[in-house]
Amino acid sequence: MIQRPRGTRDFGPADMARRRAAENAMREVCHAHGFGEVVTPTFELSELFTMRSGQAIVDEMYVFNDKGDREMALRPEITASVIRFYVNDLSTLPKPLKLYYVGSCYRYENPQSGRYREFYQIGAELIGNDNPETDAEVISLAVKCLRATGLQDFEVRIGHIGALKSLVQAEIGDRTLASEVLRLIDKAEFEALGRLFESRGLSGDLMGRVRAVAGTKGGAEALDDIEDPEVKAHLKELFETLSLYGVDDCQLDLGIVRGLDYYTGMVFEIDAPRLGAEKQVLGGGSYTLSELFGGEPVFSTGFAIGIDRVVLALEAEDFRPEYRQCDAFVVPTEDNMRKYAFAIASKLRAAGIHTDVDLMRRSMSKNLKYAASVGTRYAVIVGRDEMASRSVTLRDMDTGEQTLVKADFVVEELEKLMAGR
RNA sequence: GCCGGGGUGGGGUAAUGGUAUCCUUGGGGACUGUGGAUCCCUUGACCCGGGUUCGAUUCCCGGUCCCGGCCCCA
């Protein structure tokens, strides 16, 4: 037996029905917001990702040399590919350019709850601006995607890198040191931060100001505590616009740095508290990447949702839609009725009704048992009597109620019955 | 990379230093127009490798995978 690779999963029909339901709900919301789908390669030149995130991430990527000795990597995320695509081919499209994507990503990490080596993301990028209404559009899209899946229990935290970045970079000339400080702030490791400040002879006064800014969090009322006037005005307008979109209950959290150098303004994260250690289901913010890949500088705002974690969170909320393989199962009562059964099945299928028919040459009772065990809603029984009157018997598998209907109207009758339930 | 807990048919389980229990599921049959029942038959398992032993599924070591946590999280 061949084992499945570590950190990967197989999904059966019932799992996929649930996953696709969540995915399709989110796709619909993206389209409703005017975002168009893009697909980019599953693997890229590994340079694309190291340019963005540094050489260190090679350890956490699936990297390999292809037969032409090019260094490739399975994508660990999709934003870089989308921006590469934009810079290469889409940069002359009218702005704002609104793109979304769905796909698998790969990271060589140790699997645990909600963390896999192959996982699935849906994300969106709005290319062209970083003003408050753009941020609101993107956050609102993110929240509505999650709501559309049926998820109820999640927390939106919104921050702005500008506040900390400008403070730290203005006070610390050394860029490396500054980004180290930002990293520790992101981790909320204030003891380590204190030690760093001490060893590098930085003033305790700055430390206090950093802590004050990073500790600025709370509901919309906390917006008044923001010192940086530009950040305050930006976030105030953002929160107001979000409210117009019906997105309230967002938390302000200026401690979010998202561990990255390339975010430039608003950053946001969404957690599903019912999940375990890996409870973040979404991360995003505004950034500039295009010039890194050789394009004109342009602001983008985007996010990525971890589909796997959304599905886990839905399960934690006991949201498990019923899965039905088929709506109708055509049952011949005896062997010489099988051809009639195929004709009826064909008619139902042509009408788009999810239909199964006996292929095992089983007896009527075994067929009914099979139809019940796979959760079919209606058995369509065809036999000598039905054929004689050009009819079929529809049996509701839950109630046992049966009706004889003309074969010519079987589609309409079934649709009527299904709509009535 | 590190730590803890696990690994018996497809799923769920029991026992055991002498190759394995029960339930469920799958396949078939009886039955023959509602038995979606009932009865019968049947397929199918000790994660992998090494060690100890006359003999290992059981004990020991290593690996692997799963579950959870740390680190990390673009």
Tokens for A205, please give them.
């006064």
Rounded CA–C1' distance between A361 and B34, in angstroms: 17
Q: CA A230, A231, A236, A241: dihedral to nearest 10 degrees?
A: 100
Buried b (16+ CB within 10 A) or exposed e, A208-225: ebbeebbebbeebeebee
What tens-digit pLDDT sequence spans chain A (421 residues)?
788 899 999 998 888 999 999 999 999 999 999 999 999 999 999 999 998 887 888 889 999 999 999 999 999 999 999 999 999 999 999 999 999 999 999 999 999 999 999 999 999 999 999 999 999 999 999 999 999 999 999 999 999 998 888 888 888 878 778 877 877 777 777 777 888 888 887 777 888 888 889 889 999 999 999 999 999 999 999 999 999 999 999 999 998 887 666 888 999 999 999 998 999 999 999 999 999 999 999 999 999 999 999 999 999 998 888 788 899 999 999 888 999 999 999 999 999 999 999 999 999 999 999 998 888 999 999 999 999 999 999 999 988 889 999 999 999 999 999 887 6
A375 touches strand B (CB under 7 A): no
Distance CA A181, CA A259 (A): 11
User: Could you tell me if A37 and A274 are in contact, meaning their C-beta atoms sit under 8 angstroms apart?
Assistant: no
Phi and psi (nearest 5°) for A65?
-95, 130
Answer yes or no: is A393 CB < 7 A from strand B: yes
State which H helix or E strand residue A328 sits in.
strand A328-332
CB A119 within 8 A of CB A308: yes
Q: Is the peptide bond before A96 cis (omega within 30 degrees of 0)?
A: yes
Strand B at less than 7 A from CB of A55: no
Q: Which of A384, A375, A282, A276 is nearest to A333 (CA)?
A: A384
Scanning every strand, the nucleotide with its C1' closest to A399's CA turns out to be B36
ipTM: 0.89
What's the Å distance between residue A1 CA and nucleotide B9 C1'? 14
A56 touches strand B (CB under 7 A): no
**Which residue ranges form the domains of chain A, and what is each CATH number?**
13-316 (3.30.930.10), 328-419 (3.40.50.800)
Measure the CA–CA gap between A19 and A207, rounded to whole angstroms: 46
End-to-end CA distance of chain A: 45
A76 touches strand B (CB under 7 A): yes
Residue A71, both tokens: 């260094």
Residue A52 contacts strand B, CB under 7 A = yes
- The single-letter DSSP state of residue A335 is G
